[in-house]
Structure 1
Amino acid sequence: MSRPTIARVARAAGVSVASVSRVLNGLPATEEMAERVRRAVEELGYVPDARARSLKVGRTFQLTLAVADVGNPVYVTMMRAVEEVVSAAGYRLVVTTTGPDVVDEVALVRGMARGYADGLVISPLRVDDDLIKSIRECDVPVVVAGNVPARAGVDTVRANSPKGMLLAVEHLLAKGRRRIAFVNGPVDTVPGSARAKGFREAMKANELQAVGEVEAADFTFAAGRAAGKELLGESAYEAGSRGDGPAATARLDAVICANDLLAVGIMHELGARGLAVPAEVAVIGMDDSELAEQSFPPLTSVNLGSAERGRRAAELLLARIEDDSRPPRRIVVQPTLSVRSST
């Protein structure tokens, strides 16, 4: 039996070939028309010929999502949200890792000129003038899931990290915690800079002084364990090993971490020293990833809307592909606090 064609789908649905194409490409159509086309596609087992489609319209119908670390749960959540939006519009999603180096981010953006994708959503860990220039000169539309200067002239979707930090500090105060420490990732990164600024502003607004601040080497679990050693110090380790937990934490009763991986690393380090969470030290993460629910105890975390940011970024990219002349949009997603047992 010959392969079903778009013309056969149109005849079966009782609509024009153009109408079938609109539905399959995710373009506006009446619900009745869309349902008839979907039913005909399913009954005939029609599969679009991606190669012919690409040659005809000058598109690959492929989009790229670039993140620093595909193993980070927050990027997994974002990826799922982006994929859901673009697949509904008839696009495939390719996910790639840039790593932490801005040079690799620039190389990826410039590589889009090879024509293997129709657009890019990038969540850069670091931003410099070369990256901004490469985005502005990119041959395909680019949306940044993160924060770049307005002069970049690009669609952006970012989290309100400072407000998220304020939610975390105020929650700890409501729990009676005032001796608060902060564990950040590298401050020369986009999230590290925003969260350091937000933490200090939130503490100042509540007339508090941090009892300690540590800059971890990375936003990873291992970096969180190492930061815990630095924050608590060897004397705290010795006290904890003797079972003298409360004395070991006399100088702090809460820790806010710049992401969930760091927070879980901190909780492991506290546990290794015999310090109870949250009885002796409360811990808050940021991102509210799946890891927050899976940790023990479950982690209180600031939800920075990674799924919403992914959805909005994908929508902006599709809109930019359809109309490259419209002014760039800068969207800010507001945070919420997911309270669990770690506080």
Structure 2
Amino acid sequence: MTTSAGPPTVETIATRAGVSVASVSRVLNGHGARPNTVRRVRQAASELGYVPNGVARSLKGGRTRQLTFALPDVGNPVYAAMVRRIQAAAKPAGYRLLLHATDAVAADELDVVRALADRTSDGLILVPIRVTAEHLRVLADAAGPVVVIGSLPDGAPVDSVRADSVTGAVLAVRHLLASGRRRIAFVGGPADTVPGRNRALGYGIALEEAGLALDPALTATTEFGIAAGAAATHRLLDADPDIDSVLCANDQLALGAVHAALDRGLRVPDELAVAGMDDSELARAGRPALTSVDLGAAERGRIAAEMLLARLGGGRHPVRCATVAPRLVVRGSTAASAGRAS
């Protein structure tokens, strides 16, 4: 088999297939041709190593038929749930989904918004866990439609869909109180993040609602992650062995709290009840399975995809903001033990 001296072109493909340049162009652009012509062109393109150039197609036709989903943590099952629902909406609409992991680095998030100007993607769904004034400025100047999964300030220039983490944390604390716990600790994420701040706020609101003082000695702030959750729970229990329950700001932290309890010989839930937030696959896989607050990750992904597709469909729409209501899912990690009020 002979190979071309440079990248394959419509001319070299036409020569290899024995058809006209016009026929090759029709096949490669999806405009149809006789079945035998299509077969010959595709075979020749494959043999020559032809790769469709999405950028060139976008410059010619205005669309790449690609969407980008920029997420902070590829290891968190919450974002996997979002990916599945975004993909389920994008694929039937003729779009391919590209994933970009930002590691929650603001500069990377801003760069992926600016990259819309390169026309390698038609639109973006972005999950920032910190929102700065620079985020709002770059979002306002974006070259293509952007939908944010997360909480934005009032008047933000793009569509968004958010969880109600404050109410979710309130539901979890109310449940722990109803199961007889009174010394409820909180392991939260970084205070400068939206989820870290909102979930801590809900914890405080629920304690105040129950007439309990917010005790700083019962709270720990750390990075989101299993090892971080275990270390924070150990610190809390070292300082106050009478802690009878822990609310964690996500399921990764909660799984770490369970590990810490087991390390110390504490029975979950009899001696230490543990609740998480997100109701991810981690919650269902634990032993005992974790009580967790379902913050609608999959539903947020679905709504974000529909918002983005609506923008790409044309027409003028007011900026929209949707909120997905939380739901407490009770499992074995917080079951009321003998002698506790239920």
> TM class by shorter-chain length?
0.7 to 0.9
* Contact 1:133/1:152, CA 8 A, preserved across alignment: no
Secondary structure of the residue aligned to 1:178 is: coil
Q: Is 1:69 the equivalent of 2:69?
A: no
Q: How does 1:121-160 map to 2 (within 5 A)?
A: 121-160=125-164
Distance 1:210 1:151 in 2: 32
Kindly state the Cα deviation for residue 6 of structure 1 after the two structures are TM-superposed. 5.4
Query: What amino acid sits opposite 2:83 in the alignment?
Result: M
* Contact 1:86/1:92, CA 8 A, preserved across alignment: yes
* Contact 1:153/1:328, CA 8 A, preserved across alignment: yes
Pick aligned residue for 2:333 from 318, 322, 342: 342
Pick aligned residue for 2:279 from 278, 284, 288: 288
Higher Rg of the two aligned structures: 2
* Contact 1:123/1:145, CA 8 A, preserved across alignment: yes
Question: Please, which runs of 5 or more residues in structure 1 have no aligned partner?
Answer: 10-48, 237-248
Distance 2:179 2:66 in 1: 48
Pick aligned residue for 1:215 from 198, 212, 221: 221
Secondary structure of the residue aligned to 2:138 is: helix
2:38 corresponds in structure 1 to: none
Q: Is 1:91 the equivalent of 2:90?
A: no
Q: How does 1:238-249 map to 2 (within 5 A)?
A: 249=241
* Contact 1:146/1:156, CA 8 A, preserved across alignment: yes
1:164 corresponds in structure 2 to: 168
Kindly state the Cα deviation for residue 153 of structure 1 after the two structures are TM-superposed. 1.7
Secondary structure of the residue aligned to 1:120 is: strand
1:279 corresponds in structure 2 to: 270
2:237 corresponds in structure 1 to: 232
Kindly state the Cα deviation for residue 209 of structure 1 after the two structures are TM-superposed. 2.8
Distance 2:230 2:272 in 1: 15
Query: What amino acid sits opposite 1:123 in the alignment?
Result: V
Secondary structure of the residue aligned to 1:156 is: strand
Kindly state the Cα deviation for residue 103 of structure 1 after the two structures are TM-superposed. 2.0
Please give the root-mean-square deviation of Cα atoms over the aligned residues, in Å.
Answer: 2.1
- Structure 1 segments, 4+ long, off by >4 Å, are 1-9, 49-56
Kindly state the Cα deviation for residue 151 of structure 1 after the two structures are TM-superposed. 2.2
Pick aligned residue for 1:311 from 302, 305, 312: 302
Secondary structure of the residue aligned to 1:109 is: helix
Query: What amino acid sits opposite 1:92 in the alignment?
Result: R
Percent identity (aligned): 49
Q: Deviations over 1:282-313 (max 9, x none)?
A: 10000000010111111000000000000000
Count of residues paired in the alignment:
289
Secondary structure of the residue aligned to 1:65 is: strand
Q: Deviations over 1:111-150 (max 9, x none)?
A: 2211110000001011101111111100010000001112
* Contact 1:162/1:202, CA 8 A, preserved across alignment: no
Query: What amino acid sits opposite 2:254 in the alignment?
Result: A
Pick aligned residue for 1:298 from 286, 289, 314: 289
Kindly state the Cα deviation for residue 50 of structure 1 after the two structures are TM-superposed. 8.4
* Contact 2:136/2:157, CA 8 A, preserved across alignment: no
Question: Please, which runs of 5 or more residues in structure 2 have no aligned partner?
Answer: 1-16, 18-22, 35-51, 335-342
Distance 1:316 1:335 in 2: 20
Secondary structure of the residue aligned to 1:152 is: coil
Q: Is 1:113 the equivalent of 2:105?
A: no
Query: What amino acid sits opposite 1:109 in the alignment?
Result: V
Kindly state the Cα deviation for residue 53 of structure 1 after the two structures are TM-superposed. 6.5
Query: What amino acid sits opposite 1:101 in the alignment?
Result: V
2:322 corresponds in structure 1 to: 331
Q: In structure 2, do the counterparts of structure 1 residues 158 and 117 end up closer, same or farther at CA, with 3 Å as the change threshold? A: same
Q: In structure 2, do the counterparts of structure 1 residues 270 and 313 end up closer, same or farther at CA, with 3 Å as the change threshold? A: same
Kindly state the Cα deviation for residue 210 of structure 1 after the two structures are TM-superposed. 4.3
1:185 corresponds in structure 2 to: 189
Query: What amino acid sits opposite 1:214 in the alignment?
Result: A
1:43 corresponds in structure 2 to: none
* Contact 1:224/1:265, CA 8 A, preserved across alignment: yes
Q: In structure 2, do the counterparts of structure 1 residues 265 and 221 end up closer, same or farther at CA, with 3 Å as the change threshold? A: same
Kindly state the Cα deviation for residue 341 of structure 1 after the two structures are TM-superposed. 0.5
Q: Deviations over 1:58-78 (max 9, x none)?
A: 100000001111111111111
